[in-house]
Amino acid sequence: MLLKGKIALITGASKGIGLAISIEFARQGANLILLSRNAEKLLQISEMLQLEYGVKVDFFVVDLKLEQSIKDFFSYLNSQKISFDILVNNAGIMSDFTLQTLKKDSVEDLFQTNVFSVMYMCHFALRNFLKQRKGVIINIASIIGTNGAAGQSVYSSTKAAIIGFSKSISKELAPLNIRVNCIAPGFINTEMTSKYQGDSLDKITKNIGFRKAGSPENVAESALFLASDLSNYITGQVLGVDGGMII
Partner 1 sequence: MESNVEKLYNTFALALNVDVKIVNDNLSYQSIPEWDSISHMVLVSELESVFDVSLDTDDIIDLSSVNKSKLILAKFNIEF
Taking the C-alpha atoms of residue 90 and residue 9, their distance in angstroms, rounded to an integer, is 10
* Least gap, CB of 78 to partner 1 (angstroms): 7
In eight-state DSSP terms, residue 229 is G
Nearest approach, Cβ of residue 53 and partner 1 (Å) = 32
Please report how many Cα atoms fall inside a 13 Å half-sphere around the Cα of residue 123, on the Cβ side. 12
Provide, rounded to whole angstroms, the least separation between the CB of residue 26 and partner 1.
Answer: 29
Nearer to partner 1, 169 or 239 (CB): 169
Q: Which residues bind partner 1 (CB under 8 A)?
A: 75, 78, 126-127, 130-131, 172, 175-176
Q: Residue 137 is which amino acid?
A: I
User: Residue 100 CB, nearest distance to partner 1 (Å)?
Assistant: 39
Rounded CA gap, 120 and 191, in Å? 26
Alpha helices by DSSP H, 28-152: 39-53, 67-79, 104-111, 117-132, 143-147
Nearer to partner 1, 48 or 130 (CB): 130
**Known active-site residue 155:** yes
For partner 1, the closer of residues 74 and 187 by Cβ is 74
Which of 53, 76, 120, 155 is flagged as catalytic? 155
Sequence-separated (6 or more) residues with CB below 8 Å from residue 47: none
User: Which active-site residues does the annotation give?
Assistant: 155
